[in-house]
Amino acid sequence: MKYTLATLMFLASFSLFAQDEERAVKIEQDGIVVTYEFNLLKGKRAEEGPKELCIFIKNNNDYDVEVKFSLAFFKDGFVDEESGVLEICAKSGKEVKGKKLGLCWLITEENDEKIKEGTFAWELNELAIEKVEECD
């Protein structure tokens, strides 16, 4: 199979870009890994503009699980805002992600400043992981 120089350059740049895209790990528990990243609202990475926090749930078990949790956002060491309890079904070996599932939250301008300062905090609360027969 022959590749043109342009194709090879594209593949190399894509590979380098993907390496920079590592997400931060928030928690690993009972075969579940929760990672997160901050994105611009339009999905592009940059230093400026409104951001959103997106979390990703990876099920490393050999069975499906239901993951229940809530998020708490902190301001000056106190809970400023909380999500309701979310219930996500994660298939074996798969990652759950996306706005459609309610896994992204808009970051206020004030909290964006706290992210830049390194003082923004959030936690997963009420985390429960339960084995289920099958995800729908």
Cα–Cα distance measured from residue 98 to residue 75, given in angstroms and rounded to the nearest whole number: 25
Under DSSP, is residue 101 helix (H, G, I), strand (E, B) or coil?
A: helix
Q: Is 36 in contact with 28 (CB distance < 8 Å)? A: no
Most distant CA pair in the chain: distance in Å? 59
Cα–Cα distance measured from residue 69 to residue 130, given in angstroms and rounded to the nearest whole number: 12
pLDDT averaged over every residue in the chain: 79
pLDDT computed for residue 17 by the predictor: 36
Residue (of 75, 84, 27) closest to 55 by Cα position:
27
Looking at domain 22-131, its CATH architecture is Sandwich (2.60)
Split at pLDDT 50, 70, 90, the class of 63 is very high
Amino acid at 72: A
Per-domain boundaries in the chain: 22-131
Split at pLDDT 50, 70, 90, the class of 46 is low
More confident residue, 40 or 128: 128
Note the pTM of the prediction, 2 decimals: 0.74
